[in-house]
Structure 1
Amino acid sequence: MESMTRQWTRGLRGLIAAALVTFGLVVVGAVSASASPPDRHGRGIPTSKISVQLWTFAEYIGFGTDAATVARTEEVLGSLREMGYRNVEPFTLSGLTAKQYRALLDEHRLKASARHVDVGTPENPADIGQILRDNRTLGITFFGSGSTPIFPPVYTTEAEWIAYAEYLDELGAVARKHGQTLMVHNHDIEFETVFGDRTVFDILMAYTEPKNVVFQLDLYWATNGGGIDEPIDVIERYGNRIKLFHVKDMAAGAFPGRIEIVGEGIIDFPSIFRAAGGSTRYYVVEHDPRFGDPTFDPFEAAQVGFDYLDRVRF
């Protein structure tokens, strides 16, 4: 019943929105430049390149492996397809085998654009063979941990970070031989932690080969860690080594603001996308859950994020 009520509510919201568009009723608010209706001129993003990180739904789906968790996963996948998504980025298989999860994706006519999965560390290496086998079953090319070892911070020296980067490069070389690509996803710490004149992000770039490792730049965390212009600075420095974006916005107010629904914050996404040129493979909507906050609706965050990317021009 709760699921039916949610679907009915979202359907009603959609009908109201459609009516407003039909009759030309436009509500103008005091919002940031990035939240303004995107310029209709310039290049857009094909639907085939829009994805969503399912961490957005982490609190709703839960972390179990029981039938109820799987049912909520399936509900989310069905809703995302209705919103317009053709791709998703899983962070867990909710206890399902890769074959079972792939069947769910196929049922809802979705593809896995990438996957967050723990790839380990030099001290605790992952079973890369199993990861690659699962990726092949899932149809995934890009994969990598959802973060570097920073929860809590594991490494405190430059040498440790270099060793970690070299470990990633070795994994990436193995993945490349199997037709897959290892990616690194950042938070703010990689930009805030500095050794001499190099950040941790610089070290990860320097000690991995472009052919072995690419990067998924989280635009909120890059902004949080370096300032509002930081994403563009990073893109200009490292060019097409950045193959994927996590498109996550920042609320207005005292910097840094909390994570905001895409298009309703202060990050200038069109300028960032323009700077990246044509090297971006996937633009992935994400909004970290606000655990314990009943006012946060991950379905709304996903829908608004898709609609923004679907119409943005740069």
Structure 2
Amino acid sequence: MSRTLRHALRAALFAALSSLLLVGLVGPASAAPPPTAERGENSCVGRPVPARLVSIQLWTFAEYIGFGTDAATQARHEEVLRSLSEMGYRNVEPFTLSGMTAEQYAELLRKYRLQAPARHVSVGTPEEPADIEQILAENRVLGVKYFGSGGTPQYTTEAEWTAYAEYLDTVGEQARKAGQWLMVHNHNWEFETTFGDRTAFDVLMQHTERRHVVSQLDLYWVAFAGTDPIDVIEEYGNRVRLFHVKDLNEGIERRIEIVGRGDLDFASIFRAAGGSTRYYVVEHDPRFGDPTFDPFVAAEEGFAHLTCSTR
């Protein structure tokens, strides 16, 4: 079957499924209009993504929240959750609990009517395994179903990547038995590191079982590495369960851009995925030290772009 025909079939299926998913879309997220984008008004993704499927990786706010565990850090973390709830977000993806216990953090989520269906937390490596039982226990309290490290090690040999994949498969089996899913979040190096005609990402997928390990595909990093995200989606199908929706600006050093201001064709990518995507996770890596970057603007515009809300 040609790639063009595959795209057409996937697009038809996506349209049918989306017409069912769109029931119950939320209304406007905020009374304030979005700021004018650097490259023009922030456009809509095309077919709206239901708000219940939109999340945000809190790494977007890493510089604002900070990396401490003191009361001031926790207060900033709470302020972020409050603001996201007011924007219309229903889900968040934490990268830290800022020193709070899982119970305390779960209480904050309830306070602001948020859920954390996914989480970034170090799951270790074959050389330094993590306490997976503790992570699974915290996840149960938090309501997390998908979890994984924020990045993979930058191994250089196929043997190292294979051993890492086998370790992840073991962790994924533990997760499955606990009713959870282990996810692999990529950067660019998984697609730039190759062994013959296989990438390191291929090695990870081939040495893990689909019932144990799924992919959280970071669309920016895939494109940055020179790979078409649609090709990855077509290769691995419903193993790609979550997207990090992060935009790429080809005009400014291929930098990470606010979702909707960049050059990635999210509408085509989402159509290719069909109905298998569980969560669309907005993300913008912090521009540490750059006072012109406002993570709250990035969050608000990202939500508006995906849900096609106007404010």
Shorter-normalised TM range:
0.7 to 0.9
In structure 1, the partner of 2:52 is: 48
In structure 1, the partner of 2:268 is: 271
3-state SS of paired residue (1:69)? helix
- Output the CA distance in 1 between the equivalents of 2:208 and 2:286: 31
Give me the identity figure in percent: 67
Q: 1:71 offset after TM fit, Å? A: 0.2
> TM-score, normalization: structure 2?
0.86
Aligned partner (choices 223, 232, 245) of residue 234 of structure 1: 232
Deviations 1:81-114 (A, max 9, x none): 0000000000000001100110111111100020
For residues 111-150 of structure 1, the aligned pairs below 5 Å read 111-150=115-154
> TM-score, normalization: structure 1?
0.85
Q: 1:46 offset after TM fit, Å? A: 1.2
- Output the CA distance in 2 between the equivalents of 1:157 and 1:29: 42
Whether 1:246 and 2:244 are equivalent positions in the alignment is: yes
Cα distance change on mapping 1:225 and 1:106 into 2, 3 Å: same
Instruction: In structure 1, list runs of 5 or more residues that go unmatched.
Output: 1-13, 21-26
- Output the CA distance in 2 between the equivalents of 1:262 and 1:89: 17
In structure 2, the partner of 1:4 is: none
In structure 2, the partner of 1:62 is: 66
Deviations 1:230-266 (A, max 9, x none): 1011001111100000000011316x61000000000
Whether 1:87 and 2:91 are equivalent positions in the alignment is: yes
In structure 1, the partner of 2:219 is: 219
- Output the CA distance in 1 between the equivalents of 2:180 and 2:281: 19
Cα distance change on mapping 1:156 and 1:16 into 2, 3 Å: closer
Matched residue type, 1:87: N
- Output the CA distance in 2 between the equivalents of 1:264 and 1:114: 26
Matched residue type, 2:150: G
Q: 1:197 offset after TM fit, Å? A: 1.1
- Output the CA distance in 2 between the equivalents of 1:184 and 1:265: 25
- Output the CA distance in 2 between the equivalents of 1:159 and 1:208: 14
Instruction: In structure 2, list runs of 5 or more residues that go unmatched.
Output: 1-29
In structure 2, the partner of 1:163 is: 163
CA contact (8 A) 2:45 2:306 kept: no
In structure 1, the partner of 2:79 is: 75
- Output the CA distance in 2 between the equivalents of 1:226 and 1:73: 35
